[in-house]
A and B are shown apart, each in its own frame.
Chain A
Amino acid sequence: MRKFWSYLTISLSDAFVYRATGFIWMLNDVSQPIVSLVFWAAAFQSSAQIGHYSLSQMFLYFLGVMLINTLVETHPQFDLANQIRSGSFSNYLVKPINITIQKMASAIAWRLVRVIFICPMLLILVFVFRSSLSQFHFSWWQLSALLLSLIMAFLLNFFAKMILGLSVIWFLESGWLFFFFQILVSLFSGELLPLDLFPQSLNWLVNGLPFKYFVFFPLSLALNKTASFVSVATGLSIQLAWCLFLYGLYKLIFKKGSRVYDAYGN
């Protein structure tokens, strides 16, 4: 735990030094939902209800996408890929450094700084939408389910990206894989379009992939769309199962990868 705190403080100061970089990434992350919103705002001019959504619900949906991505979307894969390519990955193998803890501390630090960036914007949005927000009433178990789901979404994201990063051991050049993964996540997590507006015939695919639990599921808890105790419990269990699966896979790939890793440059 002490190690974790020192990693966290180091990464925090790192994230503060590169605050301009962080700010530009934040602008890029929020632009996608904002562009979607601009389009939806025009679409709602001709009809008050699209699917199950009214305009204000659609606004809340995309604000939620923005906020959840701010909290849970991490990118340890780029750094990890560079370390593997340059050979500095060896440090994790020969020194008493736990790669999972160190990368996670860094991911959390960057998320914390991002939260600070998004706060002013969030306050403005809350002020603008205060009337739609007042319709939300959460019981304590719903709030704890939401919190749990957000933490698991973070872990899902983190382990998936770590696996992607480790893939460089085999592929050397994994940019295409990172991008491919990003495309799948954007579509099937509900980032580009609410998953319940997809054609019914695609339900098996949407529900069978883990990406729903990256954004859409926690968001549906936050928006009170998944309200019954049974559906919340089922969703959380599936999310937990995906978390355990990805963690296991990550451990396995790390073990196999550290055997075939070439340690260039050392």
Chain B
Amino acid sequence: MEFRWHFILQNLISLLWAVISLLVFIFIYRHVSVVNGWTLESILLLTAVFFFVDRLFDSFFFTNFYNLTTIVNSGDLDYVLTKPLSSQFLVSLRYFSFSTVFSNLSMLILIGYLLQRYFSPVSWWQIISFIFLIVCGLMIIYSLWFMTLLPVFWWGRVDNLHYLFSPLYQLCRIPIDITGPFFKAFFTYLIPLGFVATIPVKAVLGHISFGLLFYGFTISLVLIYLSHLTWRFSLRHYGSASS
């Protein structure tokens, strides 16, 4: 508990970032009433869902992703490879960060409040498909982000490789379906970033087909498998700096 103030401050600031993003939309919607069918309430819901997923991703994976690029360069990946456990599992989930607990709880409360105040009634089926799609979204973002780390085996020292995917990921903060029909299809089916926030929000509002739910499930499994294949392939190029 030596760093408990640091822990509290980190949590508060992480929450502040979410609050600011919500505030920006509140300011924007003073000048417009609706953007492509998205009202202020629904865009706030989208932002809350995005930050909820984003903070879960941060807690589970981001520290590990940073760590991965470091241990590949230092040669410490050896210790992971020699353990009798899936190496991808170990490099992805070894550390867990608690620095986003406040934001996650606040976002959950906000999601609950918005749903109850503006979008009720919400059926059980809508809530279940919402949770299910958020899990799919996490799997999708994990796999895509993980694959962008793998060039580390070839490129060597690029300190911020774990930020390579971040620019594309930022698109999840806005509704994917306002980008026009081409990009909407692109971000739903090909690079399925829509499943991070937009599609779960649509599901909880009851605007989603069973087919899309099924596609989300399938594509997240496919991407996880693909990330595993590319990991196995990349490992063959591991030079093991230490030995």
Instruction: Write the residues of chain A forming the contact surface with B, with a CB cutoff of 8 angstroms.
Output: 18, 20-21, 24-25, 27-28, 30-32, 34-35, 38-39, 42-43, 45-47, 50-51, 173, 175-176, 179-180, 183, 186-187, 192-193, 197-199
Contacts and interface: CB of A to CB of B under 8 A. Distances in A.
Interface in B146-184: 155, 158-161, 163-164, 166-168, 170-171, 173-174, 178-179
Nearest to A25: B160
Contacts of B24: 187, 192-193
A103 B14 CA distance: 29
Given A20-B158, A24-B158, A193-B27, A38 B16 contact: no
24 contacts: A18-B158, A24-B160, A24-B164, A27-B167, A30-B167, A31-B167, A32-B170, A35-B174, A39-B28, A39-B35, A42-B36, A45-B36, A46-B34, A50-B31, A173-B3, A176-B6, A176-B9, A176-B13, A187-B23, A187-B24, A192-B20, A193-B24, A193-B27, A197-B30
B85 interface: no
Given A31-B167, A197-B30, 10 more contacts: A18-B158, A18-B159, A21-B159, A31-B166, A35-B171, A42-B179, A43-B32, A43-B35, A175-B10, A186-B20
Contact of B30 (A20, A30, A186, A199): A199
A47 B33 CA distance: 10
Of A27, A176, A183, A199, chain B has the most CB atoms within 10 Å of the CB of: A176
B233 interface: no
Nearest to A29: B167
A183 B16 contact: yes
A231 B23 CA distance: 29
Contacts of A198: 27
B17 interface: yes
Contacts of A47: 32
Contacts of B27: 193, 197-199
B163 A24 contact: yes
A59 to B, nearest CB: 16
A45 B33 CA distance: 12
Nearest to B36: A42
Nearest to B168: A31
B35 to A, nearest CB: 5
Nearest to B174: A39
**Interface SS, A side:** helix
B159 to A, nearest CB: 5
B62 to A, nearest CB: 13
B178 A39 contact: yes
Contact of B35 (A18, A46, A183): A46
B24 to A, nearest CB: 5
A28 B161 CA distance: 11
Contacts of A21: 158-160
Nearest to B21: A192
Given A27-B164, A176-B6, A42 B159 contact: no
Given A46-B35, A173-B3, A193 B28 contact: yes
A264 B87 CA distance: 36
Contacts of A173: 3, 6
A102 B190 CA distance: 47
A42 B20 CA distance: 21
Interface in B2-19: 3, 6, 9-10, 13-14, 16-17
Contacts of A43: 28, 32, 35
Nearest to B7: A176
B166 A28 contact: yes
Contact of B163 (A28, A187, A193, A199): A28
Contacts of B16: 180, 183
Contacts of A176: 6, 9-10, 13
A27 B170 CA distance: 11
